[in-house]
Structure 1
Amino acid sequence: MRKLALSDEILMQVDKPARYIGNELNSVMKDTSQVDIRFAMCFPDVYEIGMSHLGIQILYDMFNRRDDVWCERVYSPWPDLHEIMKKENIPLFGLESQDAIKEFDFIGMTLQYEMCYTNILQILDLAQIPFKSADRDESDPIVIGGGPCSYNPEPIADFFDIFYIGEGEISYDALLNLYKEKKKSGYDRNEFLREASKIPGIYVPSLYTVTYKNDGTIDSFDPIYDDVPKNVKKQVQMDLTDSVYPEAPVVPFIKATQDRIVLEIQRGCIRGCRFCQAGMIYRPNREKGVEHLKELAQKLIASTGYEEISLSSLSSSDYAELEELINYLIDICKKKKINISLPSLRIDAFSLDIMQKVHDIKKSSLTFAPEAGTQRLRNVINKGLTVENIMDGSRQAFEGGWNKVKFYFMLGLPTETEEDMRGIPELADQVAMLYYDTVPKEKRNGKCQITISTSFFVPKPFTPFQWAKMYDPSEYLGRAKIVNDHVKEMHNRKSIRYNWHEAYITVLEGILARGDRRISDAILKVYENGGYFDAWSEYFDYDRWLDAFKECGIDPDFYTKRERSLDEIFPWDFIDIGVSKDFMKREWKNALAESVTPNCRMRCSACGAKQFGGGVCYEN
């Protein structure tokens, strides 16, 4: 019988002890004497968020299909348990075996959000593993990072032995096989890392050196050995239909953030929004076969017991077989009383017709993401949405019985003017007015409710806006004030509610998103001074970060307020995502010219993703 790592006494002291005991439905148990490799798959945030992450579920399933590998899950302990583990000297453990992960061969972390970087250090600290790769020896696990933040791994490069660039289905088998081979022939950590760097998609930071110019920008970035690749190429799974996907995912004991079946229907996006990193790094757009998805939905329903199924995609409306898939799901879910969730739909006649049939909507609210308040600025960001689209969709929604609409916008976008900011409440007012003009008084289900939310724009690597500058927190808050004040001037102001994001977190996210290796010391300093769970507002302390930057001699303005020149070497330029830097430059110039680029199905813009040999690039 397996022994829990935490005593009953400790479990009784902490919030939600079910986060730490494992043994959930569909979790994988193996005999340690029968496996060659033990892999800890970590999500550097709390259990409820980590259990909602599809990428970990896919890799967990894929690794555990191998007889020679046992993959277990690890999440960041909440601060109450963190303190107990430090005080009692309890090492961080895998949920399945409850064994200390410092005894494992690999620790893999998925990097979804920059504000979780201090939690990387929390996991290493509680696992009792040295923070920096340079301080580890043969007895320590190999620490791997992957996920969207690994597309600029440099701010956290010191903490990782390896980064995996791209989709995990491609090169992990080669990496694990190499490790097994090296273990049999006499394991040498440095030799393994050097050989691993030759596997496509594998980046070993310790094998590269960076030099800087007098102005602080990068002068050179080169491998230290001739046999180490100069560039690291993103790995892409082109055949999604036949690729691995969990048919019996782990079901958590407590309610997760995404407490439902997740059916991935496609990867990538055809739209080309210039601010969107996911839309660029996951190119080309690839779809799963609809017949396969039907079979998969049946298996997932049978193996989990969930009461809701959700489609996963960057833009569900662009999936070619959406109507057939939805009609099938409606048929099977109605019998089993399972709700269907349809995120990422454009609000048009087809989508509204589908929503009428799906009984989980309950006429609650519809969501639009215009991102910008004027058509001029929507053209700058290449958001393929016009006022006519918004008004047509809203009218059809109001006629269909909806009276609540949510709008998402960004403030601080390149070329933004006060007119663009004032355009946000003006658009909301137009939609509210449309409701009262469209729906007769006797048919109204209460007054119209328009909620507008603004986040502040963060330039991300591998986007056409990677050259853009940012602003001080006070400037962002000033822009939010302009919007807020203008809301109060609207005719339908009582129907409009306005929320805005935290400006200080935005600035820090921008520093971490486009930072270089010099940022690592500041991240470590923040953790040593008590900072972790920075993604949670109740634990975020901006002053702690400013103090760390000052102590490490880092000027935050260098990473935020400076607009980059087109010939600057970026910290992430050694990564080849298949989308060329020349394309990004063209799109940056198109943005400044307020010129719209058609989506991938309308016209190929020669971004470079055609080299992967499939997907939307080859549809016609």
Structure 2
Amino acid sequence: MRKLALNDEILLKIEKPARYIGNEINSVMKDKDQVDIRFAMCFPDVYEIGESHLGMKILYDMFNRRDDTWCERVYSPWTDLDRIMREEHIPLFALESQDPVREFDFLGITIQYEMCYTNILQVLDLSGIPLFSKDRTEEDPIVIGGGPCAVNPEPLADFFDLFYIGEGETVYDELLDAYKENKKKNGTRKEFLEMAAEIEGIYVPQFYDAEYHEDGTLKSFEPNNPHAKRTIKKQVVMDLSAVPYPTKPVVPFIKVTQDRVVLEIQRGCIRGCRFCQAGMIYRPTREKNLETLKQYAYEMLKNTGHEEISLSSLSSSDYSQLKELVTFLIEEFKGKGINISLPSLRIDSFSLDVMGKVQDIKKSSLTFAPEAGSQRMRNVINKGLTEEMILDGASKAFEGGWNKVKLYFMLGLPGETEEDMKEIPRLADRVARKYYEIPKDQRNGKCQITFSTSFFIPKPFTPFQWAEMFTQEDYIHRAHVVNQEMKEQLNRKSLKYNWHEADVTVLEGVFARGDRRTGQVLLEAYRLGCLYDSWSDEFDNEKWMQAFENTGVDLEFYTMRKRDLDELFPWDFIDVGVSKSFLKREWERAMKGEVTPNCRERCSACGAMCYQGGVCFEGKN
């Protein structure tokens, strides 16, 4: 019988003990003595967040299809259990076997957002794994990172042995086979790292040296080992329908963030929004075959018992067979009590028609993301939306029976003026007016327009990677401008305004474009007690500011400084497919307010469509 790592006394003391006991439906159990590789797959956040993450489900399923590998799951212990584990000297453990993570061959950590970085140190610390890769011995697991933040791995470089750049279905098998081969011949840790460095898409930080100019900018970034590649090439799956997909995902005991079947319909995005990192690094756009998706839907609903299916994509409206897929799902499952969720839709007649078919309009709200209030700023960010399209979409939604709309915007975009800020609540008001233009007897109760602003953060591999940020006080001022303007609107009683925390934004900006020197700030912040920084109740900005002071790292160097177009960036050694020359062109077009057509209208020669044998859309230049 499997013995739990935590006794009953501890489980009774902590919040949601089901986070830590494993044994859920569809979790994979194997005999550890019958496998060659044990892989602990970690999401460095609480169970409910990590268990909802599709990328982790894909890798868990893919690794466990190998007879020689047992992949288990690990999540960050919540603060209550974290305290007990330190007091009782309980090592961090994997859910399936409940064995200590330090006994595994690999610890794989998915890095989804900057504010989980201190949790990564928590995971290493509680596992008893030395925080610095240089201090690890033959007895320690190989620590490998992946996910969207791995496209700038440098703030975390000292803490990881390897980074996997790109999509996991490509070279992980080659990496695991290399590990087995090295293990069989009793090779050393360093010898395996050298073998790994030869594999396309694998980055070994200790095999590279960074040098800096006197002004603090990066002078050079060069390999120091003959096995290390000068350029790390992002790995891309070109045929999504041909790779494994988790049709039997784990069903948690407790409610998680995404408590539903997730059907990935495509990767990439044709839109080219200049602020959006995902839209750039996941290029080119690749669709899954309709028949494959139909089969997955059947299998996943049968294998999980879930009553909702969500179509996952950066822009679901752009999936070429969306109408056929939604029609199939409605006809096959609607009468069986299955709800269909369609995130990431654009504001157009087709999308609203689809939403009307799959949603109970009395219970739901519609979500639109204009991103900017003024047309000028929407052109700067290349959103591809006019005010006419937004208001027309809102009108059709209200006529269709919706009365609740959520609007998402950004503040602090490059070139933003106070007038642009004021246009945000004005646009929300104009949306509300469309509701009150409908005859009273046709309205569905009171109208509620909730609009939210996050603060823009420049990200690597976007046209805005050269942009300056602002101070915390300036961000707060911008939110105040929007809030004051909202009070001047005719329909202010129908409007509600929310905004993101400014202090968190500044930190995200530091680590999004940080170099290796920012790693010491992370370590100091962790030592000062920073943990779960993406959670408002846990975030402590004073400790972070103390960490910058203690380490002597200049925060404003990473946020407020204007970047030269020819500056060498810490992430320039990674090739994500989109060329730096294209990003420069888009930055310059943004500064002129020029719109670039989407990929289906015209190929803009970004580089991604010809990447690894990709095929350009028809109608290219």
| TM-score computed with the length of structure 2 as normaliser | 0.99
1:21 & 1:226 partners in 2: Cα distance? 45
**How far apart are 1:617 and its partner, in Å?**
1.9
**How far apart are 1:390 and its partner, in Å?**
0.5
Specify the SS of the correspondent of 1:346: coil
1:352 & 1:618 partners in 2: Cα distance? 26
1:433 & 1:56 partners in 2: Cα distance? 44
Q: Structure 2 counterpart of 1:244, which letter?
A: P
Specify the SS of the correspondent of 2:549: helix
Equivalent residue number for residue 371 of structure 1 = 371
Specify the SS of the correspondent of 1:370: strand
The equivalences for 1:538-549 within 5 A come to 538-549=537-548
Equivalent residue number for residue 493 of structure 1 = 492
2:88 & 2:78 partners in 1: Cα distance? 15
Equivalent residue number for residue 552 of structure 1 = 551
1:352 & 1:250 partners in 2: Cα distance? 32
**How far apart are 1:242 and its partner, in Å?**
1.1
Specify the SS of the correspondent of 1:465: helix
Equivalent residue number for residue 242 of structure 1 = 242
**How far apart are 1:361 and its partner, in Å?**
4.5
Equivalent residue number for residue 326 of structure 2 = 326
Equivalent residue number for residue 141 of structure 1 = 141
* Contact 1:368–1:406 (CA under 8 A) maintained in structure 2: yes
Specify the SS of the correspondent of 1:10: helix
Q: Structure 2 counterpart of 1:590, which letter?
A: R
1:151 & 1:412 partners in 2: Cα distance? 23
Q: 1:540-597 CA distances to partner (integer Å, 9 max, x unpaired)?
A: 1111111111111100000000110001000000000011000000000000010000
1:396 aligns with 2:396: yes
Off by >6 Å, runs of 4+ in structure 1: none
Equivalent residue number for residue 292 of structure 1 = 292
**How far apart are 1:363 and its partner, in Å?**
5.2
Q: Structure 1 counterpart of 2:46, which letter?
A: V
Equivalent residue number for residue 337 of structure 1 = 337
* Contact 1:285–1:615 (CA under 8 A) maintained in structure 2: no
Q: Structure 2 counterpart of 1:96, which letter?
A: E
**How far apart are 1:618 and its partner, in Å?**
4.1
Q: 1:282-336 CA distances to partner (integer Å, 9 max, x unpaired)?
A: 0000000001100110000100000100000000000000000000000111132
Equivalent residue number for residue 566 of structure 1 = 565
* Contact 2:599–2:617 (CA under 8 A) maintained in structure 1: no
**How far apart are 1:226 and its partner, in Å?**
3.1
Equivalent residue number for residue 516 of structure 1 = 515
2:543 & 2:428 partners in 1: Cα distance? 38
2:616 & 2:501 partners in 1: Cα distance? 39
Equivalent residue number for residue 36 of structure 1 = 36
1:91 & 1:528 partners in 2: Cα distance? 18
1:605 & 1:351 partners in 2: Cα distance? 26
Q: Structure 2 counterpart of 1:221, which letter?
A: F
1:135 & 1:360 partners in 2: Cα distance? 56
Q: 1:60-103 CA distances to partner (integer Å, 9 max, x unpaired)?
A: 00000000000000000000000110011111111000000100
1:26 aligns with 2:26: yes
1:258 & 1:124 partners in 2: Cα distance? 26
Equivalent residue number for residue 421 of structure 2 = 421
Q: 1:504-558 CA distances to partner (integer Å, 9 max, x unpaired)?
A: 0000000010000001111011111111111111111111111111111100000
**How far apart are 1:614 and its partner, in Å?**
5.8
**How far apart are 1:342 and its partner, in Å?**
0.6
Q: 1:402-448 CA distances to partner (integer Å, 9 max, x unpaired)?
A: 111111000000000011001001111111112111x1112222221
Specify the SS of the correspondent of 1:138: coil
The equivalences for 1:4-403 within 5 A come to 4-362=4-362, 364-403=364-403
1:339 & 1:361 partners in 2: Cα distance? 13
Equivalent residue number for residue 460 of structure 2 = 461
Specify the SS of the correspondent of 1:28: coil
**How far apart are 1:349 and its partner, in Å?**
1.3
Specify the SS of the correspondent of 2:332: helix
Of 217-226 and 359-368, the range deviating more from structure 2: 359-368
Equivalent residue number for residue 482 of structure 1 = 481
Q: 1:457-490 CA distances to partner (integer Å, 9 max, x unpaired)?
A: 0000000000000011100000000000000001
Q: 1:123-170 CA distances to partner (integer Å, 9 max, x unpaired)?
A: 001101100001101000000000000000000101000000000000
1:511 & 1:400 partners in 2: Cα distance? 44
Q: 1:374-400 CA distances to partner (integer Å, 9 max, x unpaired)?
A: 000000000011101101101111111
**How far apart are 1:360 and its partner, in Å?**
4.4
* Contact 1:601–1:616 (CA under 8 A) maintained in structure 2: no
Specify the SS of the correspondent of 1:617: coil
**How far apart are 1:362 and its partner, in Å?**
3.6
Change beyond 3 A, Cα 1:384–1:363 = farther
* Contact 1:106–1:141 (CA under 8 A) maintained in structure 2: yes
Change beyond 3 A, Cα 1:506–1:203 = same
Q: Structure 2 counterpart of 1:370, which letter?
A: P
Equivalent residue number for residue 502 of structure 2 = 503
**How far apart are 1:355 and its partner, in Å?**
1.6
Q: 1:28-53 CA distances to partner (integer Å, 9 max, x unpaired)?
A: 00001110000000000000000000
2:343 & 2:59 partners in 1: Cα distance? 23
* Contact 2:608–2:614 (CA under 8 A) maintained in structure 1: no
Q: Pairwise CA RMSD of aligned residues?
A: 1.0
* Contact 1:44–1:75 (CA under 8 A) maintained in structure 2: yes
**How far apart are 1:365 and its partner, in Å?**
1.2
Q: Give unpaired runs (5+ residues) of structure 2.
A: none
Q: Structure 2 counterpart of 1:365, which letter?
A: S
* Contact 2:197–2:227 (CA under 8 A) maintained in structure 1: no
Change beyond 3 A, Cα 1:613–1:205 = closer
1:447 aligns with 2:446: yes
1:72 & 1:361 partners in 2: Cα distance? 40
* Contact 2:310–2:340 (CA under 8 A) maintained in structure 1: yes
Q: Structure 1 counterpart of 2:476, which letter?
A: L
Q: Structure 2 counterpart of 1:288, which letter?
A: K
Q: Structure 1 counterpart of 2:341, which letter?
A: S
Of 442-451 and 542-551, the range deviating more from structure 2: 442-451
1:609 & 1:91 partners in 2: Cα distance? 43
Q: Structure 2 counterpart of 1:102, which letter?
A: R
1:470 aligns with 2:466: no
1:576 aligns with 2:561: no
1:581 & 1:224 partners in 2: Cα distance? 25
Specify the SS of the correspondent of 1:293: helix
Q: Structure 1 counterpart of 2:294, which letter?
A: K
* Contact 1:339–1:360 (CA under 8 A) maintained in structure 2: no
* Contact 2:403–2:446 (CA under 8 A) maintained in structure 1: yes
Q: Count residues with an aligned counterpart.
A: 619
| TM-score computed with the length of structure 1 as normaliser | 0.99
**How far apart are 1:364 and its partner, in Å?**
2.1
Q: 1:202-251 CA distances to partner (integer Å, 9 max, x unpaired)?
A: 00000000000000000000000233210100000010011110110011
* Contact 1:52–1:256 (CA under 8 A) maintained in structure 2: yes
Q: Give unpaired runs (5+ residues) of structure 1.
A: none
2:339 & 2:288 partners in 1: Cα distance? 22
Identity of aligned residues (%): 68
1:448 & 1:172 partners in 2: Cα distance? 51
1:542 & 1:548 partners in 2: Cα distance? 10
* Contact 1:93–1:127 (CA under 8 A) maintained in structure 2: yes
**How far apart are 1:616 and its partner, in Å?**
6.4
